[in-house]
Structures are given as C-alpha cells and as structure tokens.
Structure 1
Amino acid sequence: MKVMHYHLGKDGGAEKFFVHLVNGLARRGVEQTCVIRPKRLWKKDIEPVARIIESNFRNAHPDRILLPMRIGRIVRREKPDALFSWATRASRLIPAYEGAIKISRLGDYPTNLSYFKNTDVLVCNTPGIAEHVRETLGWDRGVEVISNFTDVTAVAPITRASVDTPEGVPVVMSMGRFVSRKEFALLIAAVAKLPGAYLWLAGDGEERENLERMAANLGISERVRFLGWLQDTRPYVAACDIFVMPSSHEPLGNVVLEAWAQKRPVVSSRSEGPSWFMRHGENGLLVDIGDTDGFSTAIETLINDEALASKVAAGGHQTVLGQFSEDAIVDAYMALFARKP
C-alpha cells in the first residue's frame, strides 16, 4: 500500500494527529510520502517512517506552480493507492489522477467546495462536519466519518517543582495555539476566581502577550505558568489535577482525548466536538461557551469532589479506548485506501 499525503498545516492538534496517523499507518506497512511546509517542529516525528518533501506552497512562491508539476510526475511514476490531503488548501495539490482514491480530510467546517474538484471522498472527523458538507454545501460525492486517535500510553508525570509549582495546590491545565477562539483569556479569568489554584498553559501564538498581560492585571501572574510548545505534553497532562478545554469553536478537540489518555478529569465548553462525544457528569463536565463563572464552578466542583473527579476521569479513559483507538481508526483508513477510485 502506498499513500501520498499533502499537509500544509503548522503546529497544533491537527498536526499531532497527522503524526499519530502517519506512524500508525507505518506500523501496518504502508509506504508513505508526505508533502509538508519547511521547518515543521514535528518533521522529526515522521521522518523515520515516511519520505518528506518540503515546500512553500503559497501564491508568492515559485512552488505555487512548480510543486503541482512535481507531484504529478511522482504520482504517475510511483502509482500510489491513495492521495490524501489534509484540510482545504492542501486539496488543491491533488492531481486529476484516475489510478488512486483521492481523499480530503476535514477537521473543521469548510465554507465552500472549490478546493475539492479532484477529491473522491471527504473524510470528516465528526458527524457535524459530514452533515455540513452534505446538507449545507451540497457535496454529492463520497463522505466518511473517521475520527482521530491519540497515544494512550500512560506516562510518568513531571515534578511540579520543575515548573515552579508547589506541591498540594490544585493544578489546572490547558494547551493549544494562543488564538482567540481557544478562549485562554476566559480560562485565566476563571482560575483567577479560585484562590490557590495554579494554571499551566502549553503552547504559543499571537495572543501570548495579551494573556500574560491579563494574568498580571488580575493579579495571578504568580499562579500562571506559560510552558511554550512542548516536545511531549503527556508528562505535564499527567501531572495536572484538571484539564480544561474552553474553546468557543472546536470541531473535535484532540486535547480532550490526550487528557483522557492520561486519566485526567476534563471540563470542556459545549463546542461542536465535545458536544458529540462528551456526556456531562459521566466522562467530563460541560460548560456553556463563554461562561467564565460556569468554568470556575465546574473546576471548583472537581477540586472539591474527588469521587466525581475520579468518575469522569475513568469515563473519559474508557471513551478514548473504545471510540478513539488506533486500531479502529487505522482500520477505517486502510479500508478506504483499498477502495477502487
């Protein structure tokens, strides 16, 4: 089996899943070529199992013209079984080649179908996205719902001293790109209402200075730790008491799955993905989008109710093992790659 991936993303949850899937497919013996942006932090995580082609595929760069020509030559020469684009813009790289199934994976809601002229099947990682492309946009070719998986290996937690955090205090954690829709400002405000609680934020982005300023203005800078981009977030997640995902828009929510894999109790907004796979009081606590007081209350509830925290952590762990396992997701992709175009 040969697969050629086109991935033009940067750094974040979708990229983590890309790394997971490329390695999962490699474990099944799939020969893979990956077209990616230069200097990706995660390149080293797929380099041992895939051939890498780096390209600046953008309008002002010669690769905007040269890369599709190069890809066309490779496809005609090597005859892959599947051409697999990740998100919308990368789908423009799929050539009009009849010998392979042509797949575009969607981790978010597209606004139009113009990117997918050579696509046979849209893979949507939630039912909501699948309904959107069918019912709202009128897509009349193939649609499959195949979600994500994460590494469920339990790891040893870091020491709290390593991030200047006292023992015995409640630690709340979140992670992702520092952009407005992730609502990290709301989470800082929510933690500010909980005296003694510490907040760890892993990631970086355009909102970092604003978030640091907000923590200072609220008088909680000494309780907030900005961890930056981490090579491996799992030991940090394993060391926290409560994981929070406050996003206003989250098509799936990979970070929730990562927290569940480390058996952490999760508080999430009622955004699109978590509203699909989370059940309030069973595998997590759900809070209305934008409700700062609601997040404070939910976090405080889990701090004070150890039995409930243990219950939702166990429920989340069972959910990630049953619904988001590597075997199930890789099986679904292998079956899709084997289809005749």
Structure 2
Amino acid sequence: MKIANVFLGKTLGGIEQAFLDYTQALRLKGYDVVDFVHKDGLLKDKIPLEVRKRELPFRKRSPVTFYYLFQTVKSEKPDLILVHYKNSLGMFRLIGKISGIPVVGVAHNPKTKHIIKSDFIFSITEYQRRIFIEAGYPSDRIFVVPNMIDADEPFKAFDGFQNPPVIGAIGRFDPMKGFDTFVEALGILKKKGIKFRAKIAGAANKSYEDFYKKVLDLISQNHLEEDIELSGWTDDKKSFYEGLDIFVMPSNFEPFGIVVLEALKYSRPTVSSTAEGPLEIFSGTDAAVMFEKGNAKALADALEKLLSDLPLAAKCAEKGWHLLKERYDLRTSGAATLDKAVSSVFKQLGKA
C-alpha cells in the first residue's frame, strides 16, 4: 500500500520529528511512503535520501496551492493520506473526497476544529481520543498512536551526580512549556543553598518574545545568571542529554512530549509535570518523579528529593529506559502500533 505522509509547515519541532518518525516506522512495516513537505520549509532537508519526497508550495486558502496539491496527489495515487499539519487538512480532505482517497488527521493536540473533518483520526494519547469522542467523532474511527522515537541507545546505569549536578530542560520558549516555573524552582533551590548548574536548550520566535523576556527577568530576580546556561537550539541531542544529571519537563500544557522520550533514551533521571501527555506516559510507573504542573515549589521539592536520593535517581533512569523500549520504540512497539492503526483503517475500507 502507498501512503502519502504530509507536513507542510516551515518550522522544526516536536510535530515535525513525529512526521519523520512516521515515515521511518511505515517504511519498516513495508509501506511505500512518499513525503509531502513545504518547498521553503526546514523539514525538506531532514528527509533521508532513500525516501521519496515532493516539495510543494503552501498558502492557506490559495487556489494555486490547491491546484499543486491536487495534481501531486493525482500523480502519486496514494491509497491513504496522513496529514500532520492542521492548516492543510481542509484542502486534503477535499482532495481526498474528489479522488476517493481516505484522509487521516494525525492529532498532535486536542483541538477539535479541523481534525474532526478527517475520515479517520490518529490520536497521540487516550486523553485526546476521549475529547474527540465527546465532540461527536465516531469512536471506531479514532486510533491511539503514541509518538515514538528510535530508541537505539543502550541503557547506561546512573552511578552518581556531577559536582555540582546539572539539571536541564529543552523546548521552545512558549508559555505552555513552563520555563518560568522551572526558573522559579531553581531559585528556591538556590535559596536553600543547594548547588547545581542548569541548562535550557531552545529559543524564542517573535510570537513569544515577551515570555522569553519574562524568563530572563526571573533569572535576574533570582540571581541565577551564573547558574543557568541558555544554549539555544541544539542539533546534538546526545551531548545535551548525556551532559545532564536530571532532565526536567516543566510544561503547563503538553499534548505528548517527545523530549521526555529522548531523555529516557539517554537513561536520564526525569522530573515531569502532570501535564496531559507526560501524565499518560508515566502513569502507573516509577519511571519519573512527578510534580503538580505550574507549581514551582512542588518542582523544587521533586528536584531536591531526587538530588538527595541516588538510588531513586538510578531507579528512575532504569525504569524510564525500559518504559521507552517497551512502549515507544520506533523500531518495535511504535512501528507495530502505527501499522495496526493503518491496517485497521484499510480493513474498514475493505482494502485489507
């Protein structure tokens, strides 16, 4: 079966990584995959050479864009279209209707406005699936397909903290990501005399310049200028994670959290907020120390707990790595879950 995997945004981030992971997982399961990407986007240079891609223009509600997309679908003749970019979903839904090709909306967040127009939905969490069902979408056409990563790193037993310990977080400077809570928690640790160094990898775009300034102000107010390194975006994820003693996911809202999986991949002890995605990942496990989202004191307490208990840190690292391998490994469980969802769609369509 041939599948068109579609992302027509221009930026790079968690959704874009999920798109690339879908391509790899589908190919592992024997599907013929063609990637549709924006001709001016950063993603087009991340597509592996062995993967066929179509570089396309995209402007919302543009007749010219619709023409190019329609002609591309007509020439490729896919059996299924997977759309990761909500702004293009409407066009592909119409193209699919005209061409008789089913369209799957891959739901990377719980917003219902565009996604419920899809023929089928792949939801990254059970939490989102329930939201779509409550919005009236048929339950038999929604499949939970968690995000996945290539878990190709061997487990490394955690044998001690650096002096001082290094605590890190990664993501864009968006209020949802909770970096203000993270900085406030570090300020509490400093006031208690607990030594540490901290790293935040990420950057702010123009939409979030005010939040970035807020984080800088909090760093100054808590006298953390010498304690926190703002390193910007990094392409060397391995060096970033392996340089940490503790990884923190401080998000106030997080549909999933691929960076959590990355931390588990590198056997990092993890502290996570109770945001929607991480809560579902870690529920019923001992793979992370959790804290109430948005609560700086609770985060500081969680960090202090982990810093003062080496066996607990080692246990979190080991259980987290095994959790990743069992549920979210692209090459095994992740690819199998995606394949099952795709096969279920084809079965409902009578193409199995």
Cα offsets for 1:18-75 (capped at 9, x unmatched): 222223333445433333335444432214123131423235xxxx222222222222
Amino acid at match of 1:75: V
Residue in structure 2 matching 1:55, options 57, 69, 90:
57
Aligned ranges for residues 175-214 of structure 1 at < 5 Å? 175-195=170-190, 196-205=195-204, 206=208, 207-214=211-218
1:227-266 equivalences under 5 Å are: 227-266=231-270
Q: How far 1:86 moved relative to its partner?
A: 0.7
The range that moved more, 22-31 or 221-230, is 22-31
Matched, 1:305 2:305: no
Unaligned runs of 5+ in 1: 158-165
Unaligned runs of 5+ in 2: none
How far apart are the structure 2 equivalents of 1:200 and 1:280?
A: 29
The Cα of 1:97 is off from its aligned counterpart by: 4.4
Cα distance in structure 1, aligned partners of 2:199 and 2:54: 34
TM-score normalised by L of structure 2: 0.85
Distance in 1 between residues matched to 2:235 and 2:43, nearest whole Å = 9
1:225 aligns with: 229
Distance 1:42 1:155, change over 3 A: farther
Moved over 4 A (4+): none
- 2 CA distance for matches of 1:323 and 1:294? 28
The alignment covers a number of residue pairs equal to 326
Partner amino acid for 2:189? Answer: L
2:4 maps to 1:4: yes
The aligned counterpart of 2:328 is 324
User: How many angstroms apart in 1 are the aligned matches of 2:155 and 2:239?
Assistant: 6
Q: Please, what is the CA RMSD of the aligned residues?
A: 2.4
Aligned residues of 1:33 and 1:53 also touching (Cα < 8 A): no
Residue 33 (structure 1) aligns with: 34
Question: SS where residue 226 of structure 2 aligns?
Answer: helix
Identity value in percent: 24
- CA distance, structure 2, for counterparts of residue 115 and residue 2 of structure 1: 22
Change (3 A) 1:167 1:280: same
Partners in 2 of 1:225 and 1:169 — Cα distance?
14
Aligned equivalents of 1:115 and 1:144: distance in 2? Answer: 13
The structure that is helix-richer by fraction is 2
Written as runs of structure 1 = structure 2, the 5 A alignment for 1:115-130 is 116-117=116-117, 119-130=118-129
- Counterparts in 2 of 1:154 and 1:54: CA distance versus 1, 3 Å: same
TM-score by length of 1: 0.87
Per the alignment, in what secondary structure is the counterpart of residue 109 of structure 2?
A: coil
